[in-house]
Amino acid sequence: MYRSAVAARLLRDRAAAQKGPGWLSSLNHSRRFAHSLPFTTVDAEELSGARPAQVQNRVQGKWGGSSRWNTIVDPLNGEPFIRVAEVDEKGIRTFVKSLSNCPKHGLHNPFKLPERYLLYGNISSKAGAHAFITKGF
């Protein structure tokens, strides 16, 4: 709550200093920042049938494809533009094995692991701030 009050005050002071309707436009940064993050692998603007994206499965800490793929069609032009790895009955065993190694409770309980709760709160806060800066909301 303190951060949001400080942010609101900073924005209000900045608007008063600039005295113009376009003060929010100065918060918009270049589009190149939106795709320079290390975890982004797909540029949504360039997704097409010629350059389809692939959605892989993550199991036991590794990304992997599949022998079967499901194709998602672009509703605007009908081209297949996203491939999603499908899991068959044989491949599901690795997922079940991985899940059996995971604790059944406590991972998302803020009383049992407050550090994790605070970590995800900080992640959400940073994601919101990043969206505000790059998209200019």
Q: What is the pLDDT of residues 88-121, one digit of tens each?
A: 888 899 889 888 888 777 767 778 888 888 898 9
Distance CA 30, CA 133 (A): 10
pLDDT band at 5 (very low <50, low <70, confident <90, very high): low
Q: What is the pLDDT of residues 37-77, one digit of tens each?
A: 566 677 778 888 888 888 988 888 888 888 889 999 999 89
- Sketch the domain layout of the chain as residue ranges: 42-89
Q: What local confidence, expressed as pLDDT, does residue 11 receive? A: 56
Report whether 80 contacts 72 (CB < 8 A).
Answer: yes
The size of the chain, in residues, is: 137
Task: Over range 79-83, report the average pLDDT.
Answer: 92
Q: What local confidence, expressed as pLDDT, does residue 24 receive? A: 43
In the chain, % helix, strand, coil (3-state, to 5) comes to 45, 15, 40
Query: HSE (CB half, 13 Å, CA atoms) of 50?
Result: 2
